[in-house]
Chain A
Amino acid sequence: MTTPHSYVSPIPVRKAHLGDALTSEWTKIRSVRSTIWTLGIMVLLMLGIGIGVGALVAASDVSTEGETALGLGFFGVLLGSICVITLGVLTIASEYGTGMIRTTLTACPSRARVLAAKAIVFFLLVFAITTVTAALVGLADVAMVDAAEPTGEEWLRATVGVGLFVALLGLVSLGVGAIIRHSAGAITIMIGVLLLPLVAAMFMFAESLRSTREWFLEYAIPSQLIALYAGKSTVTMSGPAGWDPVWIMAVLAAAVLGGAFALINSRDV
């Protein structure tokens, strides 16, 4: 600054970078109660339902037909993912709802940095919690239920794979939240994306809709999650199998976040 009598701050000036934004987002995400509540409920749902289903199967002597016990964690993860969707949307949309986004973007004019920091912090948090909880459920179920012994790869898919899948689903929600900028609207859209394809497929009796119906049944998010656990497609042999659901979700998250990055830079806040 060359203005004649300009003020110079005694606080040392240094350039802020992505690391600062990450620390800031970590402070933000842990200092609101909705984070604690949604993630706490998610952990409870995953543990309670996952281990509960395992206990029921163990008590009822149902034949597991060569499947491993890891797949029993599915219902808990499916319900827990609703919490992740909510938190993903709230992480960004609540800033728009309260007007906090203006304060944030005044403190950091690089909007891409703010969005990237949010996405990274949220992704890592959800990935860590989901992976650890899924591992606990898997251990409990495998110990309780008399079924085929899971291989190392199956273990990896049921823990890290599920963690990645759920965290990427959370990133999709965060991207949708950044695009819609309205909590209730974005949560509704994401729950529709999660559940609607399966519900719609149930009512597609017409023969002409057969291929659409099969596509819905294979690529609906719950079906992909089952495929991730089972390692093979659920309906036909042509659907996603093994690690495919993770890649599909990664591509979806990249597309939605790409749109969010493009929009956040061009829109007024």
Chain B
Amino acid sequence: MIEAVGLTKRYGAKTAVYNLSFQVRPGHVTGFLGPNGSGKSTTMRMILGLDRPTSGHVTIGGHPFRQLPNAPRQVGALLDAKAVHGGRSARSHLLSLAQLAGIPAQRVDEVLGVVGLQDVAKRRSKGFSLGMGQRLGIAAALLGDPQVLLFDEPVNGLDPEGILWVRNLMKKLAAEGRTVFVSSHLMSEMALTADHLIVIGRGQLLADMSVKDFISANSADFARVRTPHTEPQQREKLTTVLTEAGGQVMPEPDGALRVTGLPLPRISDLAHDADVRLWELSPHQASLEEAYMRMTQGAVDYRSTDDRLAHLQPPMPPHQLPQPPQYVVPEVPQQGWYAPPPPGQNPYAAPQNPQHPQNPQAQGPNTEDAR
């Protein structure tokens, strides 16, 4: 059980974490989410007593970490896969930690086996890949067989097999009744691993709820409706009808409609009454990724800009004016199920690309890439 109350950390003028209160309960995998620089690692360091909070406090099992009796036997942590002395072999590294915590030396070989590093145990960790480093860090966290485990970005650099292994390991550790607190920015991974989520942005708590509640609270489920593209007036007609019935209708770039606020059977009834044929009527539930993006979009510190290479473009000859950039329909994150195209034609392609009627190949959605 980890309990934070009013946790605040300032570095000079910058506030890394502000008034953060949460509980991490045993028996669950608790995901700790937030954009880069949102204060996840700072919070983890404060939990482990490495950084002193400016105000507030955090306890593990009722004690601050540095006052815990037998701290390494109660808490294990992976903070940074590179936090090892590169000149030391994996086994010596773990042995020194085991000796420091009063853990029998045979436990070292046990955890090396658990993380699958037994064959490289004698090699210096300088030559380890990021994935191997993560495994070594996880081994160090498991060394004391503790009941509280903290992992900061444990799947960074792991291969798919390793990611699956970490996922199952977290679940197994939680099922044994341990407290498992995992930070990550891989939403899809958290959706599969975590039971509970704590989301922070700019150092403040944004959400503290179960994964299921988080998704339904932060995403609007919608229905995708497609009318025959050969009859655009049907689409307009349906839009009017649905709006009058109280739904919100948003056109999608490929001609479909995104309808919220109306259940699927009602959409079907309304279309039938209006004498509009439907080619698609499908339910869509937003993924955790989308729910997370929606929640944290205001709290992102590091946002990329377009790389225009403005200074590096060769100057244009004066008579040859640059082409005005073609308007590109913004990509909408596509998820859920799509009807396969009927054999012989692509229903999404035909009415589009009016700019290239002379190009016989300008049919598919990949035209932009193919050029």
A95 touches B102 (CB 8 A): no
With A3-B61, A14-B102, A108-B100 in contact, is A31–B92 under 8 Å at CB? yes
Which residues of chain B have C-beta atoms less than 8 A from A237's C-beta? none
A34 to B146, CA, bound (A): 33
Q: B70-89 CB contact bits vs A (8 Å, 1 = yes)?
A: 11111111011011111111
Residue A206 at the chain B interface, CB threshold 8 Å: no
B72 touches A16 (CB 8 A): yes
Residue B15 at the chain A interface, CB threshold 8 Å: no
Residue A94 at the chain B interface, CB threshold 8 Å: yes
Residue A208 at the chain B interface, CB threshold 8 Å: no
Q: Which residue among A104, A106, A110 has the maximum number of chain B CB atoms within 10 Å of its CB?
A: A106
With A15-B70, A24-B96 in contact, is A106–B145 under 8 Å at CB? no
The residue from B49, B79, B95, B144 contacting A27, defined by CB atoms under 8 A apart: B95
The residue from B77, B82, B85, B147 contacting A106, defined by CB atoms under 8 A apart: B77
Q: Which residue among B49, B86, B102, B177 has the maximum number of chain A CB atoms within 10 Å of its CB?
A: B102
Residue B215 at the chain A interface, CB threshold 8 Å: no
B65 touches A109 (CB 8 A): yes
A25 to B51, CA, bound (A): 23
Beta-carbon contacts under 8 Å, A225-240 to B: none
Q: How far is the CB of B195 from chain A (nearest CB, A)?
A: 14
Interface of B (DSSP majority class): loop
A24 touches B89 (CB 8 A): no
A111's closest neighbor in chain B, by CB?
Answer: B66
With A16-B70, A16-B72, A99-B80 in contact, is A24–B99 under 8 Å at CB? yes
Q: How far is the CB of B179 from chain A (nearest CB, A)?
A: 8
Residue A9 at the chain B interface, CB threshold 8 Å: yes
Residue A212 at the chain B interface, CB threshold 8 Å: no
Q: A102-123 CB contact bits vs B (8 Å, 1 = yes)?
A: 1111111110001000000000
A67 to B68, CA, bound (A): 60
B104's closest neighbor in chain A, by CB?
Answer: A11
A94 touches B50 (CB 8 A): no
Which residues of chain A have C-beta atoms less than 8 A from B79's C-beta? 99, 102-103, 106
A104 touches B104 (CB 8 A): no
Residue B69 at the chain A interface, CB threshold 8 Å: yes
With A7-B147, A99-B82 in contact, is A108–B72 under 8 Å at CB? yes
Which residues of chain B have C-beta atoms less than 8 A from A16's C-beta? 70, 72, 100-102
- Residue count of chain A within 8 Å CB distance of chain B: 44
A98 touches B85 (CB 8 A): yes
B100 touches A6 (CB 8 A): no
A9 touches B27 (CB 8 A): no
Residue B45 at the chain A interface, CB threshold 8 Å: yes
Beta-carbon contacts under 8 Å, B149-197 to A: 176-178
A14 to B102, CA, bound (A): 7
Which residues of chain A have C-beta atoms less than 8 A from B71's C-beta? 106, 108-109
Q: How far is the CB of A226 from chain B (nearest CB, A)?
A: 36
Residues on B close to A: CB < 8 A? 1, 26-27, 45, 48-52, 61, 65-66, 68-77, 79-80, 82-89, 92-93, 95-97, 99-104, 107, 140, 143-147, 176-178
Task: A6-B178, A13-B73, A98-B86 are known; give 17 further A-B pairs, CB within 8 A.
Answer: A5-B26, A11-B104, A15-B69, A16-B100, A20-B99, A27-B96, A27-B99, A28-B88, A28-B92, A32-B88, A99-B82, A105-B49, A106-B48, A106-B72, A109-B49, A268-B45, A268-B50
Q: When A and B form their complex, which 3 residue pairs have the shortest distance between CB atoms, in order from nearest?
A: A99-B83, A31-B92, A16-B102
Instruction: Jot down 30 A-B pairs with beta carbons below 8 A, ordered by A.
Output: A1-B74, A3-B1, A5-B177, A7-B176, A9-B73, A9-B145, A11-B73, A11-B104, A11-B145, A16-B72, A17-B102, A24-B96, A27-B99, A31-B89, A31-B92, A95-B85, A98-B82, A98-B84, A100-B83, A100-B85, A102-B45, A102-B48, A102-B80, A102-B83, A103-B84, A106-B72, A107-B101, A107-B140, A109-B49, A268-B45
